[in-house]
Structure 1
């Protein structure tokens, strides 16, 4: 099985959204970029901040600048350009159905109402790609979801989310090698 060649962090561009729960995918990409000295720059043809994952020559990081609902545009543009198959893509996104500080990895499945995933499904024509689900917790009421994801986490939530992102970023080497069972075992048996 081939490893991940494209890491996609979901979020909304701009200062207004930088600290909001919906940007957990951006935070993950930022952490990996910092840890690997990878440089991201605006790339108009890929509709986002994109860059090679150092020191690997064949893997990419991207933070789409299309806003969440049009994330698929960036994913499809980069994947098509570099001939990256959906099974070689990992999408990192906020997950309401997991408690803050919990991270789970899975292959395929539905979009669970997540607009970024919905658009990626549509752009790729398949749901058969990897996801890294960063738990942000749930507000308790469906009516509160939009307001909740577009607000910053509490200080305690931010702390556990940051810790889980830091820990999961250490598994990038396993993901690059396609050792998903090992990565998931480490991720899902944490603490």
Structure 2
């Protein structure tokens, strides 16, 4: 985590219980240094400041899409909002947002209302308006290459043929160096074979057996907009709880060893080896 030291009169004004329409930003002095979170609030007239995070969940607006596979990004934002007491009551840049904090770190929770293929319009505009650096833009979205209910947190990646991620990257000048929290949803019956295969065999099996693809002749678009079965729903609910804790740890501590352990635990959460 990188912090800035600045004169107390030039700080971002922020309180968790106050949900203002924007971060009040004032001019910073030019000196920026790394500081420990354990530093006192004021050191010779200087105040510790935290770089804000933008946590954006991808999905489609409207009751029609509520609870579908393609909307788990929205569900994660709703769960974080509930757990951290962040009220989602502001509309800005074609996006429903909430301003609050996780611990002492200011966060901006966002649910773009542009539909999935154009969500980059909102994310890019918010990142520019609030001057959030790439390393603090956390994108939360569904991932068909992961088993249902399995999470993956990584500092950067490509778009993986996800139209929403493509749109976000396009509105961030083609950059890919921003964190992602992926939520898996591929078909459950194939999970039991994955730990028995070598990585090469598993990849081939995915290609020929259709792991991560719609059942039968169903089109991918229709499958994405389906709701979960009762068992899948239980797994997703557990994943959302784990995801809130993962986001909390990332915001407070950055990508440390606990994130690596989290990813490893998620990888084998249904296959104890």
Task: State TM-score, norm by structure 2.
Answer: 0.65
Structure 2: any 5+ residue segments left out of the alignment? 3-50, 187-211
Within 5 A, what are the aligned runs for 1:91-170? 91-125=139-173, 126-137=175-186, 138-140=212-214, 144-170=219-245
Q: Distance in 2 between matches of 1:96 and 1:46?
A: 28
2:123 aligned partner: 75
Within 5 A, what are the aligned runs for 1:20-31? 20-31=68-79
2:265 aligned partner: 189
Give the stretch that moved more between structures: 20-29 or 153-162.
Answer: 153-162
Does the residue aligned with 1:139 lie in a helix, a strand or coil?
Answer: coil
Does the residue aligned with 1:186 lie in a helix, a strand or coil?
Answer: helix
* Deviation of 1:147 (Å): 1.2
Q: Distance in 2 between matches of 1:80 and 1:155?
A: 40
* Deviation of 1:144 (Å): 2.8
* Deviation of 1:158 (Å): 1.1
Higher relative contact order (CA 8 A, sep 6+): 1
Quick check: which one's helix share is greater?
Answer: 1
Query: How many residues are aligned here?
Result: 190
Does the CA-based 8 Å contact 2:59-2:111 persist in structure 1? Answer: yes
Does the CA-based 8 Å contact 1:4-1:175 persist in structure 2? Answer: no
Does the CA-based 8 Å contact 2:52-2:106 persist in structure 1? Answer: no
Task: State TM-score, norm by structure 1.
Answer: 0.91
* Deviation of 1:153 (Å): 1.2
* Deviation of 1:165 (Å): 1.1
Q: Which runs of at least 4 in structure 1 moved beyond 6 Å after TM superposition?
A: none
2:107 aligned partner: 59
Give the stretch that moved more between structures: 103-112 or 58-67.
Answer: 103-112
Q: Which has the larger radius of gyration?
A: 2
Give the stretch that moved more between structures: 49-58 or 14-23.
Answer: 49-58
RMSD: 1.9
* Deviation of 1:12 (Å): 0.1
Does the CA-based 8 Å contact 2:52-2:136 persist in structure 1? Answer: yes
